[in-house]
Amino acid sequence: MKIIHSFFIVFFVMGASFIQARPSVSIQNVAARQCFSLDGKWNYIIDPYETGYYDYRYKPYDEQVNPGNGAFYLDKKPANKSDLIEYSFDKSPTLWVPGDWNSQDEKLLYYEGTIWYRRIFDYQKKSSDDRVLVYFGAANYESDVYLNGKKLGKHIGGFTPFCYEITDLLRETGNSLVVKVDNKRKREAVPTLNTDWWNYGGITRDVSLIEVPHTYISDYLIHLQNKSDNVISGYIQLNEDVASQQVTVSIPELKLMTTLLTDSHGKACFNLKATHLERWSPEDPKLYQVEVSLGENKVIDQIGFRTIETKGTDILLNGKSVFLRGISIHAENPQRGGRAYSDADVRELLDAAKALNCNFVRLAHYPHSENMIRLADKMGILVWEEDPVYWTIQWENPDTYANAQQQLTDVIERDKNRACVIIWSMANETPVSDARTLFLKKLAQQARSLDNSRLISAALEVHGNPVDPNERIVEDPFADVVDVVSFNEYVGWYDGLPEKCDKIHWSISYNKPVLISEFGGGALQGLHGDAQTRWTEEYQEDIYARTVKMLSKIPQFRGTSPWILFDFRSPKRVLPGIQDGWNRKGLISENGVKKKAFYVLRDFYNQMEAKFAQPVKH
């Protein structure tokens, strides 16, 4: 019997019922498979009233009961000169996929609603027994997918992958793939209505056809066993519940190989003892070629082996204390002001972080692309990944929780083999309440059930002491759950002037490492004045200089990821002549020019690198 591993599907329906869809399927390491790219120009139709989805009674078209000529997913052509069809993909303009629609067409800059995408393609299978899947890296926010007029499925969540089998619907020529993408913000969604970044809509990451054998390796986990020096463990999972299938795991450089038989669920677990194992680290991001095989079907990956844990107030990477010299990053190409998706996009962002002497990045406030994570693996940059639970989520709504849990599950399943990822973050700046704390505790429990080899955190808030105006207190019931106590603070920007940093003292009672997940202030690059004048580079520079001195007095201080690397687009930032739709807290402008605060932070990181220096391997 076939089993569907459903970590790319949301198990609930928001709104009206829709056409029965097939379940999503899982597949690990798409780039290593036999792929056929569907990237390129797709025809599109702007549909703010969802005319192509609902009939005149405002009910979804149903391919069995009420198909109707108006259903855009049918991609119909007039049968004769009298036939009434009020849309045409063939005559419609095109958008580039992957890419957001906002940065590709000026009239779509602020658009929030539905756009229909259509791509025509031909495909001939290499083997008649093979399966074919269609894979989407991400589309923001809700996506309804159709092939040749038939519903494949609905995906909810703007930053995680989804995949459907299309073997039975595929034609050798003239396939019509239609995707309804809706980026409207919703109160019950994750993230919710109110965010401080641009709501980029569209198919924002790669789309591929993947051809695989009838029975194939759908998933695997290969990592250094927790608190072990030399035991590599994990599992291989097939797409079907088939027992006694012979699978092989091989790491040629370590001269390791084992052959296993799958159990009745198509799964095989293993432990391998390695000798002379080189640990992955920022100083030496060693990746080994790992091969997993089922018969002639082989999947090759590049995997690093390291341990991460906490002991008292220390973060231990491979058993040694590390200071996280970080920066927060949005998935945005600052030069064009659009969603970052390409190898060049992520290279620009991580190269800038390296120029700052970072060994760590916080990927805010949602899962970034897989190529971002893989490049961080190669470059030796530690990573914080975050579930988009942001500000005021509907804590008591079970569908909202299911959505958040599914997005967290998706990103953990996608990136669990990447050594660079050391922290799963549950949320950002969520006001304390009983419902909120229960929500986050359940998420943390889910994360640990999926992956107990990484640290749990969240960007918490701080509060003042009404008796002592210079005391800042970190006291949050969720801090008892996390491995690393992280919080955002803006002394000198939202809380007084920069000189206030000199007076502040911190009350943090947790015997855990402390990571300052955000601090900073805004500056318009090129605007100069004294350190008391808002929006000047000097004001921002003064905040950074005073803040790093203030934070260094915290005994548990083990890292920081200031807000933020580059200026980024935000509809909330409307001050004419200064913001103009950009959040100006970046250390680098949208034109790539470094502000004065960049050099303050870099100098501080140079000092911390020397203080926490690891022995150089010879």
Dihedral (CA of 483, 484, 488, 491) sign: positive
- pLDDT score for 59: 76
Confidence of residue 306 (pLDDT cuts 50, 70, 90): very high
Least confident of 13-22, 196-205, 252-261: 13-22
Number of H helices, E strands in the chain: 6, 35
- pLDDT score for 253: 97
Do residues 455 and 424 lie in contact, with contact meaning Cβ atoms separated by under 8 Å? yes
Residues forming beta bridges with residue 119, ordered by sequence position = 177
Average pLDDT over residues 203-219: 97
**Chain-centre distance for alpha carbon 358:** 20
Instruction: Determine how β-strand 463-464 pairs with β-strand 455-460.
Output: unpaired
- pLDDT score for 20: 54
Do residues 527 and 535 lie in contact, with contact meaning Cβ atoms separated by under 8 Å? yes
User: 374-396, pLDDT tens digit by residue?
Assistant: 999 999 999 999 999 999 999 99
Least confident of 61-75, 197-211, 453-467: 61-75
- pLDDT score for 456: 98
Give the whole-number percent of the chain exceeding pLDDT 70: 94
User: 582-591, pLDDT tens digit by residue?
Assistant: 999 999 999 9
pLDDT at 10 exceeding the cut of 70: no
Q: Which of 21-35, 49-63, 215-229, 417-431 has the highest mean pLDDT?
A: 417-431
Q: Residue 114 CB: number of other CB atoms within 10 A? A: 23
User: 482-530, pLDDT tens digit by residue?
Assistant: 999 999 999 999 999 999 999 999 999 999 999 999 999 999 999 999 9
Instruction: Determine how β-strand 582-583 pairs with β-strand 568-569.
Output: antiparallel
- pLDDT score for 56: 65
The three-class DSSP label of residue 423 is: strand
User: 522-564, pLDDT tens digit by residue?
Assistant: 999 999 999 999 999 999 999 999 999 999 999 999 999 999 9
- Which structural domains are found in the chain, ordered by start? 30-212 (2.60.120.260), 217-305 (2.60.40.10), 309-611 (3.20.20.80)
User: 149-191, pLDDT tens digit by residue?
Assistant: 999 999 999 999 999 999 999 999 999 999 999 999 999 999 9
- pLDDT score for 238: 97
In terms of C-beta density within 10 A (0-12 exposed, 13-18 middle, 19 or more buried), how is residue 216 classed?
buried
- pLDDT score for 21: 66
DSSP string of 70-91, one letter each residue: T-GGG----SSTT------STT
- pLDDT score for 1: 34
Copy the structure tokens of residue 258: 């084992």
Among residues 515, 595, 502, 496, which one has the least CA distance to residue 546?
Answer: 502
**Chain-centre distance for alpha carbon 588:** 22
- Average confidence score pLDDT of the chain: 93
CA dist 562 and 506 (Å) reads 18
CA dist 230 and 306 (Å) reads 10
Copy the structure tokens of residue 223: 């990592």
Average pLDDT over residues 239-255: 97
Return the DSSP state at 448. H
pLDDT at 334 exceeding the cut of 90: no
- pLDDT score for 63: 59
CA dist 135 and 35 (Å) reads 10
pLDDT at 19 exceeding the cut of 80: no
Confidence of residue 28 (pLDDT cuts 50, 70, 90): very high
In this structure, which amino acid lies at residue 433? Answer: S
User: 97-110, pLDDT tens digit by residue?
Assistant: 999 999 999 999 99
Confidence of residue 67 (pLDDT cuts 50, 70, 90): low
What's the Rg (C-alpha) of the chain? 25
Among residues 497, 501, 613, which one has the least CA distance to residue 552?
Answer: 501
Counting other chains too, the contacts that 268-271 makes at CB distance below 8 Å and 24 or more residues apart are 268/235, 268/236, 269/233, 269/234, 269/235, 270/233, 270/234, 270/235, 270/236, 271/225, 271/231, 271/232, 271/233
Strand order in the sheet with 463-464: 463-464, 471-474, 505-508
User: 78-128, pLDDT tens digit by residue?
Assistant: 999 999 999 999 999 999 999 999 999 999 999 999 999 999 999 999 999
pLDDT at 62 exceeding the cut of 80: no
Q: Choose between 296 and 328: higher pLDDT.
A: 328
Q: Residue 235 CB: number of other CB atoms within 10 A? A: 16
- pLDDT score for 61: 76
pLDDT at 5 exceeding the cut of 60: no
CA dist 128 and 142 (Å) reads 33
In this structure, which amino acid lies at residue 148? Answer: N
Say what the pTM is.
Answer: 0.94
Average pLDDT over residues 596-614: 94
Four-CA torsion 53, 59, 63, 68, nearest 10 degrees: -70
Among residues 410, 36, 9, which one has the least CA distance to residue 212?
Answer: 36
pLDDT at 611 exceeding the cut of 70: yes
Residues forming beta bridges with residue 320, ordered by sequence position = 317
Copy the structure tokens of residue 343: 């190898």
Q: Choose between 149 and 23: higher pLDDT.
A: 149
Confidence of residue 6 (pLDDT cuts 50, 70, 90): very low
Dihedral (CA of 527, 530, 533, 537) sign: positive
pLDDT at 240 exceeding the cut of 70: yes
Label residues 163-186 b or e (16+ Cβ within 10 Å = b): bbbbeebbeeeebbbbbbbbbeeb
